[in-house]
Amino acid sequence: MVSLKGDKVKKFFLWLLFLLACFFLFFSEAQAAKSYYPGIKRRLKSYYYQLQRKPKPTVKLKTQFHRQEHSLSCEVAALKMALSVKGMNPSESELIRQLPWQPMWGNPHQGFVGDINGGMLKTGYGVYWKPIAKIAQRYRPAEAFEHWSVQRLASEIQRGNPVVVWGYVGSGKRRFWRAPDGTPIWGVSGEHARTVIGFAGSVTNPQGFFLLDPIYGEIYWNTKSLQSNWAPFGNAGVVIR
């Protein structure tokens, strides 16, 4: 005769194994790129964006989501997604091989600063729009820009042209340093690039924008939120035509 106590112990351990298996599957990051946040925070934020109520887009371009493969490779990952709108599909590693490089505390207007697998503003930083535009031009007509309005952004999306924009994740705290040649550099903690693929509202009065974030996937920001995140970089980016 099997004791009731023995059955309870057996069931307890079976449930424990089940919960441990669920925990492992839920938090597994085997295929996910590292980011500025620990994995659990990234997961929770990704779920938030997936559950986010989004308006019906006026225009939304078809593309393929690509999660960045290195801790600081958001710019090339965003470029890869933008190029896919135009039918181009270079690998992230192919794009990275074409990057010019700068030492830590170098000039992001000239190349990628620091280690692409490094820590933000510790051993690595990122790269700005002009070097990314030069890589993009090897595949499609592309243009680096600054000081765009949201109306200009929406008009390019309406024409079928994806746009990589620079913003930030985290605090967005401003940082200043001088490159080895003495050039003054303004950086932003958590510098991050995303691909704008759609908008809601009209071109003259866009209510919000759809973006592909190379960490979190598709997100929707109202126009005020996008402007706030975009402004520290002077409303800069790269348009792919």
* pLDDT over 50 at 1, yes or no: no
* pLDDT over 90 at 44, yes or no: no
Check if the beta carbon of residue 210 is closer than 8 Å to that of residue 197: yes
Number of domains comprising the chain: 1
- pTM > 0.95: yes or no: no
**Region 179-190 average pLDDT:** 97
Terminal CA-CA length for the chain:
76
What is the predicted pLDDT for the residue at 171?
A: 87
Residue with tokens 């005769």: 1
Q: What is the pLDDT of residues 83-125, one digit of tens each?
A: 999 999 999 999 999 999 999 999 999 999 999 999 999 999 9
Q: Which domain holds residue 226?
A: 34-240
* pLDDT over 60 at 205, yes or no: yes
Q: What is the pLDDT of residues 120-174, one digit of tens each?
A: 999 999 999 999 999 999 999 999 999 999 999 999 999 999 999 999 998 899 9
Q: What is the pLDDT of residues 66-79, one digit of tens each?
A: 999 999 999 999 99
* pLDDT over 90 at 45, yes or no: no
- How would DSSP label each residue in 111-167? SEEB-TTS-BTTTB----HHHHHHHHTTTS-EEEE-S--HHHHHHHHHTT--EEEEE
Return the CATH number at 217.
Answer: 3.90.70.10
How would you classify residue 51: left for phi > 0, otherwise alpha for psi between -120 and 50, otherwise beta?
A: alpha
What is the predicted pLDDT for the residue at 54?
A: 84
* pLDDT over 60 at 23, yes or no: no
Mean pLDDT of all residues belonging to the chain: 88
Answer yes or no: is 92 within a domain: yes
Note the maximum CA span of the chain.
84
